[in-house]
Amino acid sequence: MIKDNLGSVRKQIADTAAACGRDADTIQLLAVSKTFPIDCILQAVAAGQMCFGENYVDEAIDKISALASRGIEWHFIGAIQSNKTRVIATHFDWVQSVDREKIALRLQEQRPAEYEPLNVCIQVNVDEESTKSGALPDEVASLAKMIRACDRLKLRGLMAIPRASGNADEQLASFTKVAALYEGLRQEGYELDTLSMGMSADFVMAIKAGSTMLRIGSGIFGKRTAS
């Protein structure tokens, strides 16, 4: 069933990309496995999915430890508390939810020197919602500059979770705003390749706006019963 869901998500990505005149190979799929057990991750791996996103540190570390040696790429995509940065810096390949200098600095200090630099995206609170984490749009430039100076971090791009809306025009407007911030940084000379936006309910509009990485959970694993 996870295999079928993955197949259908991949097909929708390919169809949407084709309809927008985009190459589907420029759009990566991150499987968001939060709250789902290891067995579900293994089913996705068997279907060729190798990149997974997790939101909760303790849950993620159990999975990462159990699945070590399988060659999985792990992305942290949840809110970051400063007392968790060390375990994030030592267990993940990517952190997509960096939203303030203090967190970037701790990750820089705690990423082991013998590891590859930690891949980082700045999370942007694009709709400026008080309930959401993320840097405000006008804070992105200074945070990007600070991260660029960190040799243990590699800035890859931006991540955003727009306001939940069933309205396609609103979704597109938010995604377009993030895409403009991303292009602005690239024009300033940042070598970015990751615009992480689009979840199960809104990924079609995200592809239209130029997303290069979709983060899909329920569309692959089914409805979440826990948080």
Ligand X SMILES: *Cc1c(COP(=O)(O)O)cnc(C)c1O
Residue of 52, 94, 99, 91 lying closest to 194 (CA atoms)? 94
Query: Which residue shows structure tokens 């995200």?
Result: 206
By CB under 6 A, tell whether 218 contacts ligand X. Answer: yes
By CB under 6 A, tell whether 63 contacts ligand X. Answer: no
- Per CB under 6 A, contacts with ligand X among 27-56 are 32, 34, 55
The two three-digit tokens of residue 122, written as one number: 């700045």
Binding characters for ligand X, 111-150, by CB under 6 A (x = yes)? ----------------------------------------
By CB under 6 A, tell whether 216 contacts ligand X. Answer: yes
Report how many residues bind ligand X under the rule CB under 6 A: 13
167 vs 188, which CB is nearer to ligand X?
167
Half-sphere exposure of 181 (CA within 13 A, CB side): 30
Of these, 6, 61, 161, 209, which contacts ligand X (CB under 6 A)? 161
CA distances from 75 to 12, 55, 109, 190 (A): 23, 9, 19, 21
| CA 19 to chain CA centroid, nearest Å | 24
Shortest distance, position 200 Cβ to ligand X, whole Å: 3
- Per CB under 6 A, contacts with ligand X among 192-211 are 199-201
The angle that helices 140-148 and 168-187 make with each other, rounded to 10 degrees, is 40
Which residues bind to ligand X, rule: CB under 6 A?
A: 32, 34, 55, 77, 161, 199-201, 215-219
